[in-house]
């Protein structure tokens, strides 16, 4: 999803900086205030956790974490003195708000106070990051369990702090989604956006429309580079995929809510609807839709003309048909009943219009409603859909394309094509959620294309960290917050979903939680490296691309190709070879741009720190360097 113009497809390289020594207190996202005090707290053999009834789930969460990793005996009780006390303020502390907390660690005990139970949960997340990394272990570890004495005051900058998980391109099980939630709450995310429908699968049971899951939830399995596969034969069994029953959704909603996460459902229409059209061909404006199949990764769009794309197969709902709105009313009725969150995301992005231009019914609609172009046709669709969504007691939210042709009166906008859509919507007085490709698209490659699974753009960790969510000249109160988006065309399994999310998810967490004044790349880089050790202990996969150099090339004045290398962490040394051998720290060290030797076949590169290898070995053919330089 989400193709960009050539300008925006250029590699996003972050600023370079020094990685700092890990401090005694290393928390992500960075708290508002941390005061280190004298001494340490040592977890005793017998530990009591006191909490009010409303925070009982949080107390049990902490108990389970401590029991899994330590040899201490953990008990919980309702209030009173204890080793670890979770306390709700009797009078509201206006400074910390609904999600803030205060954490005090002394040599004798640990106290977390908050106005609301959510704040206690976030205080527990910070406390766990103060424990040694082995606290993330699923088996007990024999060691001294010490915590530095501190006083932390903390609260979020934004109320909307999310990750989007595309479960449509490839189906991820209920257990996978729970695992994703478990990882995101460690860094105080509070919103999981589930992209539930697309051309490749309809993933939510709608009881009044059973074909959406008996037909629309399955395609033919393919592996390789999604988008480049040939279309499967018509008679090939379609058994790859799956869906969430309504009971599954209720279970996920409760699981998330117990961890102070809301789930935002997305039903992507009127484009990206091939799974729906395949299930119910009468929803299409195009004759022959009854021969369509759920997409299995074959090419169905021509992106060579930019946006909107030209559809090779009509993956849109018919905006001129009352059947479409009857269908959407049924869908929104059941979705609204399953998800307590006040918003429903309705997509609206990348809707091709070329099949609408061939439709007599759409032409008649334009004449009847005095619509001058197809953007206004989509606006007509969005305004009708907004009324349906609002009739179910929900707020209407869509990608920034819903601005085109006229924005629905009460719509909220999720700005993905940069920040411009967010600026425009906010200046019109609409609420905005920021998720721009330039900083927050975590389906992009994280490092050099020579080693990363190939996608059409790169987004490095430092670039994600550099994001400022409130654009100049915009009413900050209309920026609800933002999220990172994990599209999964090229993500086939949960381990790779983790690899793509972390550590860039850490940067996004800090972008939307921490005060603007506290953000500092030098400091953050050291804390990220500390989290790598914790990810190892938790058996969570992550990308080490921050240790790899960024490599670009250009043609010099003499016509020779020059190669430039830089690192996000300046305490790294780069070693390279042109002679096909494997570089180590006895080979040439990169200090300035290189000229490609005339007969060279490939460049090999590796980074070192303190005399030891730390980056991955990159091997780049000279033919690829020539392409990077634009040499024909």
* Helix, strand, or coil (residue 221): coil
Nearest to 154 by CA among 115, 105, 96, 114: 96
H or E stretch including 201? strand 201-202
Q: How far is it, in rounded angstroms, from Cα 66 to Cα 145? A: 10
Q: Give the whole-angstrom CA distance, residue 145 versus residue 45.
A: 10
Residue 97 backbone phi and psi in degrees, to 5: 65, -155
Q: Report d(CA 441, CA 542) in Å as an integer.
A: 16
Q: Which of 200, 205, 350, 510 is labelled catalytic?
A: 350
Q: Which tokens sit at 285?
A: 């404006």
For 507, the token pair is: 């940067």
Q: Count CB atoms within 10 A of the CB of residue 296.
A: 22
Three-state SS for 548? coil
Torsions phi, psi for 418 (to 5 deg): 80, -160
Q: Which backbone phi and psi does 322 adopt, to 5 degrees?
A: -65, -25
Q: DSSP characters for 573-590?
A: EEEEESSSS---TTSPBP
Q: Is 299 a catalytic residue?
A: no
Phi, psi of 624 (to 5 degrees): -70, -40
Residues 6+ away with beta carbon under 8 Å from 444: 12, 437, 455, 456, 457, 458, 459
Neighbouring C-alpha atoms within 13 Å toward the C-beta of 358: 12
Residue of 610, 601, 607 lying closest to 589 (CA atoms): 607
What is each CA distance from 566 to 446, 551, 574, 576, in whole angstroms? 14, 7, 9, 13
Distance (Å) of CA 77 to CA 47, 68, 205: 11, 19, 40
Q: Half-sphere exposure of residue 381, counting CA atoms within 13 Å on the CB side?
A: 32
Confirm if 269 and 328 have CB atoms less than 8 A apart: yes
CB 291 within 8 A of CB 189: no
Q: Are 412 and 470 spatial neighbours (Cβ–Cβ below 8 Å)?
A: no
Please, what is the Cα angle at 383 between 382 and 384, to 5 degrees? 90
Q: How far apart are the first and last CA of the chain?
A: 30
By the 8 A CB rule, do 425 and 413 touch? yes
User: Do the Cβ atoms of 161 and 483 come closer than 8 Å?
Assistant: yes
Q: Which residue stretches of 298-359 are H helix?
A: 322-338
Q: Which residues are catalytic?
A: 350
């Amino acid at each position: 999803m989400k193709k960009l113009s050539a300008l925006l497809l250029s590699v996003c390289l972050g600023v370079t900086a020094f990685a700092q020594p890990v401090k005694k207190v290393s928390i992500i996202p960075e708290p508002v205030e941390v005061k280190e005090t004298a001494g340490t707290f040592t977890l005793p053999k017998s530990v009591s956790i006191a909490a009010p009834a409303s925070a009982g789930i949080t107390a049990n969460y902490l108990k389970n974490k401590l029991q899994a990793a330590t040899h201490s005996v953990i008990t919980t009780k309702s209030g009173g003195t204890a080793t670890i006390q979770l306390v709700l303020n009797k009078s509201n502390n206006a400074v910390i708000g609904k999600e803030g907390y205060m954490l005090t660690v002394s040599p004798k005990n640990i106290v977390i106070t908050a106005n609301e139970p959510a704040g206690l949960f976030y205080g527990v997340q910070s406390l766990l990051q103060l424990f040694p990394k082995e606290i993330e272990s699923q088996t007990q570890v024999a060691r001294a369990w010490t915590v530095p004495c501190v006083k932390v005051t903390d609260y979020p900058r934004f109320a909307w702090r999310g990750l989007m998980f595309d479960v449509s391109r490839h189906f991820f099980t209920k257990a996978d989604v729970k695992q994703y939630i478990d990882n995101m709450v460690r860094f105080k995310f509070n919103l999981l956006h589930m992209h539930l429908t697309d051309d490749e699968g309809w993933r939510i049971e709608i009881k009044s429309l059973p074909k959406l899951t008996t037909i629309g939830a399955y395609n033919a399995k393919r592996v390789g580079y999604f988008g480049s596969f040939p279309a499967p034969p018509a008679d090939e069994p379609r058994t790859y995929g799956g869906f969430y029953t309504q009971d599954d959704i209720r279970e996920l909603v409760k699981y998330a809510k117990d961890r102070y996460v809301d789930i935002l459902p997305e039903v992507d229409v009127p484009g990206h609807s091939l799974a729906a059209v395949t299930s119910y061909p009468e929803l299409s404006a195009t004759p022959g839709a009854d021969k369509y199949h759920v997409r299995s990764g074959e090419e169905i769009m021509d992106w060579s003309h930019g946006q909107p794309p030209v559809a090779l197969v009509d993956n849109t709902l018919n905006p001129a048909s009352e059947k479409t709105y009857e269908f959407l009313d049924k869908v929104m009725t059941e979705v609204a009943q399953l998800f307590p969150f006040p918003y429903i995301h309705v997509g609206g992005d990348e809707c091709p219009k070329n099949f609408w231009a061939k439709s007599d019914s759409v032409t008649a609609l334009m004449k009847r409603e005095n619509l001058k172009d197809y953007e206004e046709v989509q606006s007509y669709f969005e305004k009708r859909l907004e009324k349906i969504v609002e009739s179910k007691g929900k707020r209407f939210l869509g990608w920034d394309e819903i601005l085109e042709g006229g924005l629905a009166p009460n719509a909220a906008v999720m700005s993905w094509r940069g920040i411009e859509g967010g600026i425009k919507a906010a200046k019109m007085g609409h609420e905005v959620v920021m998720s721009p490709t330039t900083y927050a698209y975590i389906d992009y490659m994280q490092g050099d294309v020579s080693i990363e699974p190939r996608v059409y753009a790169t987004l490095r960790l430092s670039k994600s960290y550099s994001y400022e969510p409130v654009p100049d000249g915009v009413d900050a109160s209309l920026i609800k917050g933002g999220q990172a988006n994990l599209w999964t065309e090229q993500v086939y399994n949960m381990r790779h979903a983790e690899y793509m999310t972390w550590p860039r998810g850490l940067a996004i967490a800090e972008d939307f939680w921490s005060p603007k004044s506290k953000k500092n790349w030098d400091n953050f880089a050291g804390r990220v490296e500390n989290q790598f050790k914790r990810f190892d202990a938790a058996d969570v996969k992550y990308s080490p691309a921050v240790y790899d150099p960024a490599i670009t090339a250009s043609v010099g004045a003499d016509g020779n190709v020059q190669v430039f290398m830089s690192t996000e962490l300046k305490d790294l040394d780069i070693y390279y070879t042109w002679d096909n051998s494997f570089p180590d720290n006895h080979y040439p060290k990169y200090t300035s741009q290189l000229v490609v030797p005339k007969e060279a076949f490939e460049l090999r590169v590796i980074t070192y720190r303190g005399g030891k290898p730390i980056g991955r070995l990159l091997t780049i053919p000279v033919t690829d360097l020539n392409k990077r330089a634009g040499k024909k």
